[in-house]
């Protein structure tokens, strides 16, 4: 069958691009290898879909070219998507830091996208695997559900994260087929696993408000101890900036001057772990003190020991040797090299008619709705052109 546009990938970016192309009167087909579209949308945000962030800026994204995302983000903004959500009367709320979530569950977002696809007369093929793509005058696709051809082909297949719901390297293989470069890939927005023989399994489930830093980047949110390392929003954020050879700095008392507080109480006969329990979860204070500091009363500590303890609390240097991998990663860091694409249309410079959008591109957002906004914005840019 002949189409004007074929989009491979029925996730957030793929469906939204199909809607925009269909609105322009383009005969459009979405090919999805799963039995349903939008599986990642449905599980995202704890099942409530953090569908955008109202404070989205280019600075919230990581890319070899930090300016690449600006054009698409300016042309389709978070407020544009919010207007669509309001049109469908989907109840939502701002959780924190500009993060917008569905009030009840994420399914209405998928239903909204499918409704818009229907209005735009978009065809959708489910359980359809693409076996081969050839470029002649048109793109020729051999699939498990027959052969298709199109003028414009959009790759919206996402990254490697969440292989259990169908993530594959398909988009990167297509890029390689057409000699389009990609950057190095790694799990993104993911928990980190302890290195250096550390073991804090007794703290699994304990959460601490902290400032986490790697290089010049810092985030203040909760950290959450796991059986293998540390997770939580602050760690997921810093995972994008962490380098294996470098420790991560954790300030456990971001609102307290540890040196001043300890010095003021140095005549106190209270044990250090009990004193720290005023600022930190008691179980954490006990375990942290036992593993890193001799647990004595404050009046027994020397000046140098108080200084060392203060430094440890405000700049705990933690070594990690790995991430929890793509199984637990929210997205993939890296992707199709941005210098291979037009920032205005997402079209490949080397291959007219071939587009890459969403997570498959080397544009990765912070935690908090930014990656969904990149999906909508990059899809809109391609949908207006393809």
Please give the tally of structural domains in the chain.
2
Note the pLDDT of residue 196.
75
Residue that the structure tokens 């005023």 belong to: 278
CB 272 within 8 A of CB 296: yes
- The answer on pLDDT for 345 being more than 80 is yes
Task: Choose the final residue of a domain: 298, 323, 348.
Answer: 323
Based on the domain organization, do 300 and 210 belong to the same domain? Answer: yes
Same domain, 63 and 175: yes
Could you tell me if 204 and 230 lie in one domain?
yes
User: 104 and 179: one domain?
Assistant: yes
Cα→Cα distances 117→73, 204, 222, 240, 287, Å: 22, 44, 39, 34, 54
How open is the CA angle 113-43-127, to the nearest 5 degrees?
Answer: 65
Structure-token pair, residue 2? 């002949």
pLDDT at 351: 98
For residue 232, the model assigns a pLDDT of 97
Closest by CA to 357, choosing from 376, 331, 332, is 376
Q: Find the mean pLDDT for residues 132-152.
A: 97
- Is pLDDT at 214 greater than 90 in this prediction? yes
- pLDDT averaged over every residue in the chain: 96
Query: Of the ranges 27-36, 115-124, 261-270, 311-320, which one carries the lowest mean pLDDT score?
Result: 261-270
User: Within this chain, do residues 168 and 52 fall inside the same structural domain, yes or no?
Assistant: yes
- Are 32 and 164 members of one domain? yes
What is the pLDDT at residue 293?
Answer: 84
Q: Please tell me whether residues 279 and 230 are part of one structural domain.
A: yes
Helices (H), 143-265: 170-177, 233-238, 258-264
Using a pLDDT cut of 90, give the percent of the chain over it.
93
Of 323, 344, 373, the residue at which a domain comes to its end is 323
Range 146-162 average pLDDT: 97
Confidence at residue 292, expressed as pLDDT on a 0 to 100 scale: 86
Question: With b meaning 16 or more CB within 10 Å and e meaning fewer, what string describes 275-296?
Answer: bbbebbbeebbbbbbeeebeee
Domain final position from 323, 348, 374: 323
- Which are the contacts of 137, defined by CB distance < 8 A and separation ≥ 6? none
Element (H, E) at 282: helix 282-292
Neighbours of 56 (CB within 10 A): 24
210 and 181 part of one domain: no
Tell whether the model's pLDDT for residue 291 goes beyond 90. Answer: no
Residue 165: which domain range?
A: 2-186+331-383
Same domain, 109 and 182: yes
Judgement on whether residues 45 and 161 belong to the same structural domain of the protein: yes
How large is the average pLDDT for residues 283-309?
Answer: 90
Question: What is the domain-level CATH number for residue 44?
Answer: 3.50.50.60
Q: What pLDDT score does 295 carry? A: 84
With a CB cutoff of 8 Å and minimum separation 6, the contacts of 213 are 219, 238, 248, 249, 250, 251
Q: Per-residue pLDDT tens for 223-273?
A: 999 999 999 999 999 999 999 889 999 999 999 999 999 999 988 899 999
The arithmetic mean of pLDDT across residues 284-304, rounded, is 89
Residues 226 and 147 occupy one common structural domain: no
pLDDT digits (tens, 9 = 90+) for 45-88: 999 999 999 999 999 999 999 999 999 999 999 999 999 999 99
Average pLDDT over residues 118-140: 97
Based on the domain organization, do 180 and 196 belong to the same domain? Answer: no
**pLDDT tier, 199 (very low <50, low <70, confident <90, very high otherwise):** confident
| Max CA distance (Å), the chain | 84
């Amino acid at each position: 069958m002949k189409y004007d546009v074929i989009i491979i990938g029925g996730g957030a970016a793929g469906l939204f691009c199909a809607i925009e192309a269909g609105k322009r009167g383009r005969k459009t087909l979405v090919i999805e290898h799963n039995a349903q579209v939008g599986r990642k949308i449905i599980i995202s945000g704890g099942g409530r879909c953090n569908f955008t962030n109202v404070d989205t800026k280019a600075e919230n994204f990581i890319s070899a070219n930090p300016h690449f995302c600006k054009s698409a983000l300016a042309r389709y903004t978070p407020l544009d998507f919010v207007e669509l959500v309001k049109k469908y009367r989907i109840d939502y709320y701002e959780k924190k830091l500009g993060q917008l979530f569905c009030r009840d569950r994420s399914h209405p977002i998928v239903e909204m996208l499918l409704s818009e696809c229907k209005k735009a007369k978009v065809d959708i093929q489910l359980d359809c695997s693409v076996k081969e793509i050839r470029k002649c005058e048109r793109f020729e696709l051999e699939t498990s559900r027959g052969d298709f051809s199109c003028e414009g082909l959009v790759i919206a297949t996402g990254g490697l994260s969440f292989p259990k719901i169908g993530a594959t390297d398909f988009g990167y293989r297509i890029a390689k087929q057409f000699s389009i470069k990609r950057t190095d890939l790694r799990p993104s927005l993911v928990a980190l696993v302890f290195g250096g023989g550390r073991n804090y399994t007794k703290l699994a489930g304990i959460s601490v408000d902290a400032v986490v830093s790697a290089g010049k980047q810092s985030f203040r949110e909760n950290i959450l101890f796991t059986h293998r390392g540390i997770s939580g929003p602050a760690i997921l954020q810093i995972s994008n900036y962490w380098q294996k050879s470098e420790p991560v700095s954790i300030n456990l008392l971001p609102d307290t001057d540890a040196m001043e507080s300890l010095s003021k109480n140095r005549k106190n006969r209270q044990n250090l772990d009990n004193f720290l329990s005023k600022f930190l979860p008691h179980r954490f204070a006990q375990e942290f003190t036992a593993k890193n500091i001799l647990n004595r009363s404050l009046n027994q500590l020397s000046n140098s020991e108080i200084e060392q303890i203060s430094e440890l609390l405000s700049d705990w240097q933690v070594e990690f040797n790995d991430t929890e991998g793509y199984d637990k990663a929210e997205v993939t860091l890296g992707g199709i090299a941005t210098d291979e694409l037009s920032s205005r249309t997402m079209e490949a410079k080397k291959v007219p008619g071939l587009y890459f959008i969403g997570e498959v591109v080397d544009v990765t957002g912070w935690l908090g709705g930014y990656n969904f906004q990149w999906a909508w914005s990059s899809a809109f840019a391609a949908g207006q052109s393809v």
